[in-house]
Amino acid sequence: MNKPKMATEKGVPSNSRVLMLLGQLERMNGEAMLKDVETARQVTAKILHLIQTQEKSGKEVMSKGSTGMEVILSSLENSRDVQTTLNILCIVSELLTVGRGRRVGVFVSKGGTGVLFQLLINASKEFPPSEELMLQLHSLLAKVGPKDRKFGVKARLSGALNVTINLMKQNLLNNKLLLPCLQVLRVYSTNLVNAVSLGKNGVVELMFKIVAPYSKKNTSLLKVALDALGALLKSKTNARRAVDGGFVTVLLTLYLDWHRNDTRHRHMLIRKGLLVCLRNITNIKLGRKAFIEADGMRILYNTSTECLPVRTLDPLINTSSIIMRKCFPKNRLPVPTIKSAFHFQLPNVPAAGPVAQLYNQPPGVDDVVDESDDNEEADADTENDTENDDDDKDLLVANDDIETDLNKLHPKRNPGRPLEELKVYERFFLELSEDFQGYNFDCSKSASTTSASSPFSSSSATTQSSRPIIVPTAQALSPKHVPVPSSQKDCNSTKGKHTLPSPSAPTPTLPAPLTPLELDTIHLTKDQDKKEKSHIPSPDTGTKLSPSQGQMIQQELANVLERVSLEEAGVLKAEEEGGNGDKQEESPVSATRHIQSPLLLGGIAARRVGGGGSNFGSDCGSEGAEDEGGEGAVLEVPDTALLLPLHDPDLYVEMVKGTRSVPEYAEVAYPDYFGHVAPTFKEPLLERVYGVQRSKIYQDIERLIHPNDILDKAVYDLDIPSCPVIEDNGESLKFNSQFESGNLRKAVQVRKYEYDLVLNSDVNSNHYHQWFYFEVSGMRVGTVYRFNIINCEKSNSQFNYGMQVLMYSVQEAISGRPRWVRTGADICYYKNHFARSSIAAGGQKGKSYYTMTFSTTFSHKDDVCYFAYHYPYTYSTLKMHLAKLEALRTPQIYLRQDNLCETLGGNDCPLLTITAMPESNSNDHICQFRNRPLIFLSARVHPGETNASWVMKGTLEFLMGTSPLAVSLREGFIFKIVPMLNPDGVVNGNHRCSLSGEDLNRQWQNPNPELHPTIYHTKSLLQYLVHMQRTPLVFCDYHGHSRKKNVFMYGCSVKETVWQSNITATSSDLQEDLGYRTLPKILSQIAPAFSMGSCSFVVERSKESTARVVVWREIGVQRSYTMESTLCGCDQGKYKGLQIGTRELEEMGAQFCVSLLRLKRLTGLRNHQHLLDLENDIMTHTKVVSSSTTTYVLEEDEPDFLEAIDYSAESNDEDAEAEIEQVGEILEIPDQLSDSETNHRE
């Protein structure tokens, strides 16, 4: 028996019946098929029967290596007989029905789509066309279309679009034929160009003849018709055509009809289809206007409210929400200008950039909103067929910012300025030339050196401030409490160049009282059975770190440095006794100080306690101001010295007096005065309640539906400088933000217990709204209050992923629990209806702000509470902390405090030098002292990243500690530390900028000495070190990250940057010491909050002017890092599922120090010039931890978010819609979400 010519798969019998028939069909192709029509019919009928009855026959035809599909398609092209063609179409249909799309893919790859279109064109030329043939063809095209990416283009080029349209017009009542035509039309319309063409041919109007009111008949056809109509209406031309035809009202009427009659919810997909049509129409301004005029807001609001109890109807509710939010009329932000409420005139204005635009803006320009708030795109006629480009877009976005210039990727030391100019900085490096020849090492009190230019001298306070400081709960030190300077012991240098004063000398730590303040009018009372004490350490009573701290750290080092404990034994014991602080008698703070209130400073009565007019009743003072020296109620102020040895309320007030702010703040916030004791209980990430965002959005929509319920009453407004607190009849909360680091511009009472809050822009800027810190009083106990911060700018936030706001209760503090706690329920972050002008959005029109909303309940009557974005850490707190640290120094510690420079606002920028004193003044010891490697640390260049200061606090306290680890660290390194690079921004409540209105971490390439003094002089310090051939071993800039979890580092690597880009490089180009990974690797092994997997060592173009990249590229520091600490919490390690607190942040600062010590110990480091890669050594000494090999980390690493945050017309609503249909609100699939602020990572 002869073998058929067609190829068969190995293992399939050559005498298979279906293959024999296909071989026969193959031989008939061409002339034979036309001549022997009957045989062709019989052969194709037999093949069809075999495939229908035997599953293996279909497998044989579609098996790999078989040419069965080519034979079938060839026969289909050559057949001129209708019955034979129908048989072959049925064969193809049967074959494609199974196989999960793989068979369809094979069919498309063999050119099947083109054959079907050609057959359709040929069949249309017959008159009348065969209905059965058209039915089969369209059914097959409906199956093939979704799998063929070129389907729309092929249909348009072949002329098939018109064939289908004409067939539909002729068969509107023939549902059997109409259904497959609509199915194909649905696929046609997914191509935007096709949709425009179909719209011009009247298909939109045709579709509205097909969609019908509620009926139990033909529901499948109606569903497909609505899908096709929805696809057509994605074209803006078609959407306009629908609006002009009055079809918005038609769609709303149909939706209402189906909603009322579909009581059993069996036709949800039809109702959803109607909403999708409305959603696409409202993507254009005309559509939104028509929707409002047709009372669409009320219709969708009412129908959605009725759907809320039925969980399965969530897709309808969510789509309705998107439509309503989009159509909600854009509101004006309730401020006169988006520029900061505070004005600071710059000494010179930059020639270009945002600040220059701000200053060059013509007077009278409305910068709050634009004339048109819609981002209308070009007409659909110009819409391109971009279906082929989709796959490439994500790739381009991901790698677009990576530096590809190899010349820029190779660090080249560039001192920048000649040594003659830099010699002025020699005074900041006295330790490099100090000979200690006249120093008496036997003097027990000669602990350290203190620069004469210390910013903490008494002259600092007296010369900088003559204004009265209003302290709500305490007062400046009474004259009898101001220590008298003791006589210094004779331990000074004989050369007279540099004095080494006693650590007990009060001059550098305690400013003298201000002369203008009438301190005699201050009344201070203490419990009679308690001895009066000053909080300023003295030689006898100075506060010391608990000895247990050093022992604990030393013990942990033996345990492979798994963690460093910052808790003092006394703190732990006291707080454990206090439990969670629910009962006042269990308070960890038992000592109290009784203070008269109100306080009179400088003859001016202090504001009533609470700042907004509230009072504490019997505890907190009278209703109004009393006469000077009059008796007031006594307020018990907790004595937190037991738990906070480095916090002194009185010293804090003194430091505030020397702090300069643009608004000239004269008040002190309670939390900064009392201090913060980290709670011992865990604060887990907030679990998001299902539907919480939707419920908040519906409350917002109700403002438009029921406007009579809205109060819209301003209760606090910084734009009324004379009286920001607007008095009322006591029915409103009282707000205040007029204190250091405070930020709240305006509060508007929307409903009785709901407030819209507007944040202030950074000074000399019109944006950066993120940091907030404000006071609330006058609350009712047990009432749920809702707060909406309505002018946020980032497109997503950790508030959507478990982060809570921070609250500080004064009543709790008085009860002995002075602490910030995470609070707030129903927290979510979403796009709102307040328009952001193009001036505020970088030239883009149609942008909106975002709302961060939370609800809270107050527990105490007449309380004063504070809310903050993160744990506040003010500039005055830093000054107090440094002064207290200075009192902790021992004779073995070399500590020097210099004033690096003065900021634009007139504040000092402290520079610290910390190391160990030499053992003696012998040449060997002095040489070892001078040649210690340098570690350069900085923090708080971005004021809103307060966590950076808490990490720095942990670092400083560790370095000044008495533990063996701290001693070893000081003996091994010289630390140069700038703990706050942006004092002005911190003081004035900025989030990102300095008073120049610029991000200082984008000025390192070419800092201006007038506009960016702290950056200019810090860079100059580094440049001086390059000239002196003392380049630091490590540079690290502490930051906070608002959109990722954990603590991690960004570094710089040529090799890893090249790996993440498409540039070609030689092996010599990629040569670099892998030591840059050592420090992060150590941290990942010893610090529980640190995540190596989140680290990145890729150099990006947008970061080329940051500290990390400039110090790496110009100064030549290979280990130049940014250490980012989360503002939210951790998703790995020991702290997984917990929000981060100050205890963990300070621990991280100490762990950083331990990692440096680990680095030193592993290398036996004495000279840092030749530090080798230590990764292998680390892996053998400590436990192995996994880390990712790819280090290019995008802006976010959160799972995809199912409740659409962005409800605007320009958003990708299709993707959001697909997500909303899923069950639940948050997927566990990691996904990087894009952000317009991608440059704001460091």
Task: Indicate if the alpha-carbon torsion angle 489, 492, 496, 499 is positive or negative.
Answer: negative
| Pairwise CA distance, residues 429 & 911, whole Å | 11
Q: Using CA atoms, how far apart are residues 315 and 179, in angstroms rounded to an integer?
A: 25
pLDDT at 874: 98
Report how far residue 1183's alpha carbon sits from residue 580's, in angstroms, rounded to the nearest whole number: 35
Kindly compute the dihedral angle of the four CA atoms of residues 565, 567, 569, 575, in this order, to the nearest 10 degrees.
-140
- Among the listed ranges 577-591, 857-871, 1061-1075, which one has the minimum average pLDDT value? 577-591
First to last CA, the chain: 78
- In this prediction, residue 62 carries a pLDDT of 82
Q: Which of 971, 970, 933 is nearest to 955 (CA)?
A: 970
Q: Which residue has the higher pLDDT, 410 or 1002?
A: 1002
d(CA 446, CA 441): 8
Q: Which of 374-378, 801-805, 930-934, 1107-1111 has the lowest mean pLDDT?
A: 374-378
Output the pLDDT for position 180: 92
Angle between helices 285-293 and 236-244 (to 10 degrees): 30
Helix 112-124 vs helix 151-158: crossing angle, to nearest 10: 30
The answer to whether residues 330 and 1209 touch, using CB atoms and an 8 Å cutoff, is no
Measuring CA to CA, which residue among 273, 191, 263 is closest to residue 234? 191
Query: Which residues are paired to 748 by β-bridges?
Result: 714, 756
Interhelix angle for 55-62 vs 37-53, to 10°? 110
Record the tokens describing residue 330, joined without a space.
Answer: 């854009």
Structure confidence at residue 243 (pLDDT)? 96
Q: What pLDDT, in 10s, does the model give residues 554-597?
A: 344 434 333 333 333 333 333 444 444 343 334 444 444 443 33
pLDDT of residue 252: 96
SS3 56: helix
Contacts for 421 with CB less than 8 Å, ≥ 6 apart: none
CA angle in degrees (0–180, nearest 5) for 167-169-175 = 75
Q: How confident is the model at residue 676, as a pLDDT?
A: 95
Given a cut of 50, whether residue 179 has pLDDT beyond it is: yes
Residue 599 has pLDDT above 90, yes or no: no
Q: Tell me, what's the pLDDT at 405? A: 65
Rounded to the nearest integer, the mean pLDDT of the chain is: 78
**pLDDT of 933 higher than 80:** yes
- pLDDT at residue 932 greater than cutoff 80: yes
651-678 burial, b if ≥16 CB within 10 A, otherwise e? bbbbbbbbbbbbbebbbbbbbbbbbbbb
The least confident of 31-35, 87-91, 531-535 is 531-535
Give CA–CA dist 10/27, Å, rounded: 22
Of 417, 864, 433, the closest CA to residue 611 belongs to: 864
Res 330 pLDDT > 50: yes
Tens-digit pLDDT profile for residues 271-294:
999 999 999 999 999 999 999 999
Q: Is the pLDDT of residue 448 over 60?
A: no
Q: Which residues are catalytic?
A: 1124
**pLDDT value, residue 601:** 32
User: 883: which DSSP letter?
Assistant: H
Tokens representing residue 616 in the block: 């504490």
**pLDDT tens digits for 194-239?**
999 999 999 999 999 999 888 888 899 999 999 999 999 999 999 9
Q: From residue 500, give the alpha-carbon distance in Å to each of 457, 541, 925.
A: 15, 21, 19
- pLDDT bucket at 652, cuts 50 / 70 / 90: very high
For residue 1182, the Cα-to-chain-centroid distance in whole angstroms is 33
Beta-ladder partners of 1047: 1090, 1125
pLDDT value at 552 more than 50: no
Question: Residue 419 is which amino acid?
Answer: L
Q: Tens digits of per-residue pLDDT, 1126-1149?
A: 999 999 999 999 999 999 999 999
Angle at 76 between CA 71 and CA 78, to 5 degrees: 95
- Centre a 10 Å sphere on the Cβ of residue 601 and count the other Cβ atoms it contains: 25
- Output the pLDDT for position 443: 59
What's the rounded Cα separation, in Å, for the pair 745 and 750? 16
1192-1223 tens-digit pLDDT: 444 555 655 557 776 555 454 444 444 444 43
> How confident is the model over 992-1006, as a mean pLDDT?
95
Residue 1061 has pLDDT above 90, yes or no: no
- pLDDT for 1066: 66
